[in-house]
């Protein structure tokens, strides 16, 4: 099964900077890769989905890249705000029945 | 409002006392799933359902049962709960069983403590 690695250490950045979070996987490339936001004690909320044949996807201040050669996805938040502070999860969808989630990276944006 | 609801939101119970956590979605989604989330382990899938009367095991199914008799409901049953099932549980649904519409819509979570 896939092993997914997200940085377990929290990412601390200043307001206005670009946050970049990493999702690495070990085996074959998934058909789709998804990113979610999770606030403490709440359910994850879907943010973006990128297909394996797409290099980049954008939505407002969010950008996701997908490099199947490096087996890596990067998630960027530009002009970050304190309200962006949360844990961000990546999930691999190999096109079968299940999704595999990473453990998430906590982002802390300070004013 | 389109949503996934779970009940109860919090539950403290004792070892061996059967319990059911309900999950309901009002979006006419085909795919439904249960996850548990534990510190350091992340989200792990327990069971999923591709449609009514179609269910299958996820990564950690031991000690759990599910049923899908109606499209909107997907209850999680713990026949004989044990302390290692203390966790935060999430139900999720998805509009499709495959393809680019497989994003998950999560419920608010059920925090279960088994003593």
User: B86-102 pLDDT, tens per residue?
Assistant: 999 999 999 876 666 68
Query: Quick check: A98 pLDDT over 70?
Result: yes
Share of chain A above pLDDT 90, in %: 70
What is the predicted pLDDT for the residue at B103?
86
pLDDT in tens, A45-57: 999 999 888 989 9
Give residues with Cβ within 8 angstroms of A17, minimum separation 6: A80
Query: Quick check: A105 pLDDT over 80?
Result: yes
Q: CB neighbours (10 Å) of residue A36?
A: 24
Taking CA–CA distances from B56, the nearest residue in chain A reads A97
B27 Cβ under 8 Å from any chain A Cβ? no
Taking an 8 Å cut-off on Cβ atoms, the answer to whether B102 and A99 are in contact is yes
Q: How far apart are CA A100 and CA B59, in angstroms?
A: 9
Taking an 8 Å cut-off on Cβ atoms, the answer to whether A49 and B100 are in contact is yes
Q: How far apart are CA B36 and CA B45, in angstroms?
A: 7
pLDDT band per the 50, 70, 90 thresholds, residue A27: confident
Query: Quick check: A104 pLDDT over 90?
Result: yes
Q: How far apart are CA A39 and CA A84, in angstroms?
A: 10
Query: Quick check: B15 pLDDT over 90?
Result: yes
Collect all residues of chain B within an 8 Å Cβ-Cβ radius of residue A99: 33, 45, 102, 104
Q: Which helix (H) or strand (E) holds A14?
A: strand A11-14
Instruction: Name the β-bridge partners of B3.
Output: none
Query: Quick check: A28 pLDDT over 80?
Result: no
What average pLDDT does this structure show over B28-47?
93
Q: How far apart are CA A49 and CA B28, in angstroms?
A: 21
Least confident of A24-33, B8-17, B26-35, B71-80: A24-33
Q: Tell me how far CA of residue A76 lies from CA of A88, B69, B100, B107, in angstroms.
A: 11, 41, 21, 26
Residue given tokens 């309200």 in the structure block: A83
What average pLDDT does this structure show over A87-97?
84
pLDDT band per the 50, 70, 90 thresholds, residue A3: confident
DSSP structure string for B59-79: S--TT-EE--SSSSB--EEES
Q: How far apart are CA B74 and CA A76, in angstroms?
A: 35
What is the predicted pLDDT for the residue at A1?
65
Collect all residues of chain B within an 8 Å Cβ-Cβ radius of residue A1: 59
Taking CA–CA distances from A32, the nearest residue in chain B reads B100
**Residue of B42, B58, B100 lying closest to A98 (CB–CB):** B58
What is the predicted pLDDT for the residue at A68?
87
Collect all residues of chain B within an 8 Å Cβ-Cβ radius of residue A46: 103-105
């Amino acid at each position: 099964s896939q092993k997914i690695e997200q940085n377990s250490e929290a990412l601390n950045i200043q307001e206005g900077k670009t946050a970049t979070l990493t999702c690495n996987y070990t085996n074959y490339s998934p058909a789709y890769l998804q990113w979610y936001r999770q606030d403490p004690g709440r359910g994850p909320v879907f943010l973006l989905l990128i297909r394996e044949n797409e290099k980049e996807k954008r939505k407002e201040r969010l950008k996701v890249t997908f490099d199947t050669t490096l087996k890596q996805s990067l998630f960027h938040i530009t002009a970050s705000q304190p309200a962006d502070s949360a844990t961000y999860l990546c999930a691999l969808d190999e096109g079968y029945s299940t999704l595999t989630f990473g453990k998430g990276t906590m982002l802390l944006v300070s004013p | 409002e389109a949503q996934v609801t779970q009940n109860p939101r919090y539950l403290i119970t004792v070892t061996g006392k059967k319990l059911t956590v309900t999950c309901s979605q009002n979006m006419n989604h085909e795919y439904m799933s249960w996850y548990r989330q534990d510190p350091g382990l992340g989200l792990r899938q327990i069971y999923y359902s591709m449609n009514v009367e179609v269910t299958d095991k996820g990564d950690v199914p031991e000690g759990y049962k599910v049923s899908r008799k109606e499209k909107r409901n997907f209850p999680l049953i713990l026949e004989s709960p044990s302390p290692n099932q203390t966790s935060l549980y999430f139900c999720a649904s998805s509009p499709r069983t495959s393809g680019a519409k497989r994003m998950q819509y999560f419920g608010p979570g059920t925090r279960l403590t088994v003593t």
